[in-house]
With several copies, the nearest count.
Chain A
Amino acid sequence: MTVIPSIKSDYLGKLAEQGKRIDGRRFDEYRKIEIETHVVSKAEGSARVRIGNTQVLAGIKMDIGEPYSDSPNSGVMTTSAELVPLASPDFEAGPPGGRAIELARVVDRGIRESQIIDVDKLCVVPDEKVWMVFIDIHILDYDGNLFDTASLAALAALFSTKVPMDRFKPLFEKLKDTCPSINDYLQQHPTDYPLPLREPPISCTSVKFNNVVVFDPSLDEEEIAEGIGDVRSHGARLTVATDEKGHIRAMQKGLNGSFTKEEIQKAIKASIDNGNEIRQILYKSVGKK
């Protein structure tokens, strides 16, 4: 972790007490959000999302595999995240650590528990063969708020994804011998088709430090919340995913600080508002609505 000189930390803290942020944003205001899809041609779907200077690339690959025994007619999804050292001097090469795993699991739950992917429509041969959806999150440039940038990149990539019927034609031909029931599926889906998706919840993250709660934290703000170099600091992070109806679909508190009930309720409300705005940006970028 980069140590912010305490002078900077004090300055941001003082600003916060006056209701201000160093880049002039309101406490509940996001930096500029940019979404670009179809950025990787080898992937079934992909998107690069920028929130301020933070930049995340998500790619979707699909494969044919076997279903889990307790859901024999459902597709399978997996989310991985790599904090590659390209994105920050603080990220190290090697197998994912606690931070990358928490990120991947929070993004994964936001998609899985909200049932965005209609996995029941990803069955190829009942009991035997289903689609597997691999969501891979690649952090390219790290300036704070990975949770929201990564979640949004995963969503945008999913919305750009085509089920690769043509690429798997040779495998399907082979399967016809052993699994004749595949013909139903092939007749319904003669060619590539969009991944079947439901409405997406949007994740919104805030951090608390010096008793204020700010949304879409920059790296500087995150580092203050993480108490880098400051022993008394107990910052906290809260991610809330909400849907179009304003319902809560996932939450995750992080860091070694705490929240009051009131702070949590306020954060949920601001997450709903921000979520609605971000959902519009997402829809626009993927040509929905």
Chain B
Amino acid sequence: MKSDIKLIDGHGKRLDGRKADELRKIKIEAGVLHRADGSCYLEWGGNKVLAAVYGPREAIPKHTQNPLKAIVNARYNMASFSVEDRKRPGPDRRSVEISKVISEALERVILIEQFPRTMINVNIEVLDAEAGTRCAGLTAAGVALADAGIPMIDIPVACAAGKIDGHVVLDLGQKEDNFGDADLPLGLAPRINEVILLQMDGHLTMDEFNKAFELAHHGCLVVSEMQKKALLEKYESVVQPEEVVQDVQPEESE
């Protein structure tokens, strides 16, 4: 859908005042739910996302059990009231696809071979949606998994870049997504520096792709630090302050 809206002005300023390489405002909170084994609340621009992890526990129904590893069931779900026109409850084709690519991305980082015959359920609820929910969801899932103490090689993180009015920019907002030229959501395992989620819609030259990839990659690293900070804050809130310093410093130096 095209329109006459000008998405970026002569000074490289975007509709919401951001610069090309600027993220929307992000807030991450770990351990927000009582019942879940691990959880995360994340606000990313106008997106509000909750993630909750349950498991590992015995996989049911039994025929889904894998004798060699855990299965990871990520379930991305949008609340009926999270979008402009009310969404019917239950999964649609879009959420089934997103659940699949997020599950696959998480399987890359979780040490699934440590928990044969089990399942790890990762529930992602989008409460308020404003472009970029799959990146927000994967990022929240990463924090919730760490909060649940699930062993991982890396805390997964995601961020998108895209193209608007011919310019490559970081982290598209709603109108940029609706009326822009391309969107490139990128999921990263930051420590091993490998791509665990990648999709692209629109129109990019090779050069634009390289630039967008760099931007999104950079975005991932910035968000990754926020993830660690949120986990640290949760940790600090439950243990003695002096202990925290000792335990967490080495983690940060990585």
Contact residue among B89, B184, B210 (Cβ-Cβ distance under 8 Å from A136): B89
Confirm or deny: B83 has a beta carbon within 8 angstroms of a beta carbon on chain A. yes
Judge whether B129 and A260 touch: CB under 8 Å.
no
Judge whether A260 and B202 touch: CB under 8 Å.
no
Confirm or deny: B235 has a beta carbon within 8 angstroms of a beta carbon on chain A. no
- For B99, what are the chain A residues with a Cβ–Cβ distance below 8 Å? 98
With both beta carbons as reference points, the residue of chain B lying nearest to A265 in the complex is identified as B210
With both beta carbons as reference points, the residue of chain B lying nearest to A115 in the complex is identified as B203
Contact residue among B57, B184, B210 (Cβ-Cβ distance under 8 Å from A89): B57
Least distance between B167 CB and chain A CB atoms (Å): 16
CA distance in complex: A256, B202 (Å): 25
Judge whether B206 and A136 touch: CB under 8 Å.
no
Contact residue among A89, A96, A254 (Cβ-Cβ distance under 8 Å from B104): A254
In the complex, number of A-B residue pairs with CB atoms less than 8 Å apart: 187
- For B46, what are the chain A residues with a Cβ–Cβ distance below 8 Å? 41-42
Least distance between B51 CB and chain A CB atoms (Å): 8
Confirm or deny: B69 has a beta carbon within 8 angstroms of a beta carbon on chain A. yes
- Of the listed stretches A13-21, A99-107, A176-184, name the one at the interface; the rest are far from the partner chain: A99-107
- For A250, what are the chain B residues with a Cβ–Cβ distance below 8 Å? 200-202
CA distance in complex: A101, B46 (Å): 28
- For A234, what are the chain B residues with a Cβ–Cβ distance below 8 Å? 107-108
Judge whether B189 and A82 touch: CB under 8 Å.
no
Judge whether A42 and B34 touch: CB under 8 Å.
no
Least distance between A54 CB and chain B CB atoms (Å): 8
- For B101, what are the chain A residues with a Cβ–Cβ distance below 8 Å? 102, 252-254
**Interface 1/0 per residue, B209-233 and A, CB below 8 Å:** 1100100010000000000000000
Confirm or deny: A43 has a beta carbon within 8 angstroms of a beta carbon on chain B. yes
CA distance in complex: A93, B52 (Å): 14
- For A205, what are the chain B residues with a Cβ–Cβ distance below 8 Å? none
Least distance between B195 CB and chain A CB atoms (Å): 5
Confirm or deny: A147 has a beta carbon within 8 angstroms of a beta carbon on chain B. no
Interface range on chain A (Cβ under 8 Å from partner)? 35 or more
Judge whether A57 and B75 touch: CB under 8 Å.
no
Confirm or deny: A123 has a beta carbon within 8 angstroms of a beta carbon on chain B. no
With both beta carbons as reference points, the residue of chain B lying nearest to A272 in the complex is identified as B206
Judge whether A247 and B193 touch: CB under 8 Å.
no
Confirm or deny: A281 has a beta carbon within 8 angstroms of a beta carbon on chain B. no
- For B128, what are the chain A residues with a Cβ–Cβ distance below 8 Å? 40-43
Interface-central residue, B35, B52, B68, by most chain A CB under 10 Å = B35
Confirm or deny: B42 has a beta carbon within 8 angstroms of a beta carbon on chain A. no
CB-contacts of B21-35 with A (<8 A): 33-35
Judge whether A105 and B84 touch: CB under 8 Å.
no
Given contacts A55-B33, A136-B80, A253-B199, contact A85 B86 (CB under 8 A): no
CA distance in complex: A258, B48 (Å): 28
Confirm or deny: B196 has a beta carbon within 8 angstroms of a beta carbon on chain A. yes
CA distance in complex: A109, B202 (Å): 9
Least distance between A214 CB and chain B CB atoms (Å): 18
Given contacts A85-B121, A143-B35, A248-B200, contact A256 B57 (CB under 8 A): no
Judge whether B201 and A109 touch: CB under 8 Å.
yes
Least distance between A33 CB and chain B CB atoms (Å): 15
- For A7, what are the chain B residues with a Cβ–Cβ distance below 8 Å? none
Given contacts A86-B36, A247-B205, A255-B104, contact A57 B80 (CB under 8 A): no
CA distance in complex: A89, B83 (Å): 27
Contact residue among A60, A85, A238, A248 (Cβ-Cβ distance under 8 Å from B205): A248
Confirm or deny: A63 has a beta carbon within 8 angstroms of a beta carbon on chain B. yes
CB-contacts of A41-97 with B (<8 A): 41-43, 46, 53, 55, 57, 59-61, 63, 70-71, 80, 82, 84-89, 93, 95-96
CB-contacts of A227-283 with B (<8 A): 229, 231-232, 234, 238, 246-261, 264-265, 268-269
CA distance in complex: A86, B50 (Å): 8
B positions within 8 Å CB-CB of A: 1, 33-36, 46, 48, 50-52, 54, 57, 68-69, 75, 77, 79-86, 89-91, 93-94, 96-97, 99-101, 104-105, 107-108, 112-113, 121, 123, 125, 127-130, 184, 189, 192-206, 209-210, 213, 217
Instruction: Report 20 cross-chain contacts, Cβ distance below 8 Å, ordered by A residue.
Output: A55-B34, A59-B82, A85-B121, A85-B123, A86-B33, A86-B36, A86-B50, A86-B52, A93-B77, A98-B99, A105-B93, A105-B94, A113-B202, A134-B81, A140-B33, A248-B200, A248-B205, A253-B198, A261-B217, A268-B206
9 smallest CB-CB distances across A and B, nearest first, come from: A59-B81, A258-B194, A251-B200, A256-B107, A61-B86, A253-B198, A53-B34, A43-B81, A86-B123
